[in-house]
Copies of this chain bind each other. A is one copy, B any other.
Amino acid sequence: MGKLTREAVVERALEIGDAEGLQAVTIRRLAQELGVTPMALYWHFKNKEQLVVGMADHLIEGFEITPDGSRPWREQLRELVGRLVRMLRRHPCAEAVLEEVDKMEVPAFLRVWDTALGLTLRAGFGARESCLITRYILQGAIALAGGSVEHRRCGPEGHAEHVRLKRVRFQSLPPDTYPNIVRMAVPLTERGDAELYDTFGVDLLLSGIESMAARLDG
């Protein structure tokens, strides 16, 4: 019925990935859910790698970043990171997708990267520093936000169970070799603490850059 289009395939893939993890996204499984032969997908994607590229592109696509020379670069960088973080929280499989993919192949990611580069250059950083900083902030946002995502692999009560199990595992570690982990089992396993991540986490990322920028000015 519904024609097999690139977009439909990618969206279905993201649904599976968000629900069951990226490793559940296989060509054969995808084809089955779309009511089609595995080989049909090879008409729309050269190979599986390009399918994942498509997933990544779809995730970042709608960011609509408009570099604005009149607003301060810190503010705009913060906004960029904020968008990344929110997207990562909406899509549990986004972190895995962005880690697996060669980001150079993802147009939407390159646009984000280009914008970030423009901002750090404007901040006064040199070419090589800007490369490092942008890599750092984008990777950092993915790692930080991704780590805070509750994977919905098993439904809400399955998630709570998963957290409980992890906590128990921490608590039953030998306290003489892992004193802090044992003692902090509860805060370590508290996830989805959105507020803390959105404020403290992003602050942490940006304050590093800002203090490096301060050294440039001083």
What's the Cα separation between A142 and B201 when bound, in Å?
A: 17
Among A116-138, those with CB < 8 Å from B are 117-118, 121, 127-133, 135-136
- Asked if A19 is an interface residue, CB under 8 A from chain B, the answer is no
- Taking A180-B121, A181-B114 as contacts, is the C-beta distance between A200 and B135 under 8 angstroms? no
Does B204 contact A133, Cβ atoms closer than 8 Å? yes
Does B140 contact A184, Cβ atoms closer than 8 Å? no
Name the segment of A7-15, A54-62, A75-83, A171-179 touching the other chain.
Answer: A171-179
Identical chains in the assembly? 2
- Taking A136-B144, A184-B131 as contacts, is the C-beta distance between A173 and B110 under 8 angstroms? yes
Does B135 contact A144, Cβ atoms closer than 8 Å? yes
What's the Cα separation between A146 and B68 when bound, in Å?
A: 32
Q: Mark A152-189, 1 if CB is under 8 A from B, else 0.
A: 00000000000000100110010001111100100110
What's the Cα separation between A204 and B209 when bound, in Å?
A: 7
- Taking A110-B178, A147-B135 as contacts, is the C-beta distance between A117 and B208 under 8 angstroms? no
What's the Cα separation between A208 and B140 when bound, in Å?
A: 12
What's the Cα separation between A203 and B129 when bound, in Å?
A: 12
- Taking A179-B118, A180-B121, A208-B208 as contacts, is the C-beta distance between A201 and B111 under 8 angstroms? no
- Asked if A207 is an interface residue, CB under 8 A from chain B, the answer is yes
Chain B residues contacting A201 (CB-CB under 8 Å) are 132, 136
Name the segment of A25-33, A39-47, A84-92, A190-198 touching the other chain.
Answer: A190-198
**B118, B184, B193, B204: which contacts A208 (Cβ < 8 A)?**
B204
List A residues at the B interface (Cβ < 8 Å): 99, 104, 110-111, 113-114, 117-118, 121, 127-133, 135-136, 139-140, 142-144, 147, 166, 169-170, 173, 177-181, 184, 187-188, 190, 193, 196-197, 200-201, 203-212
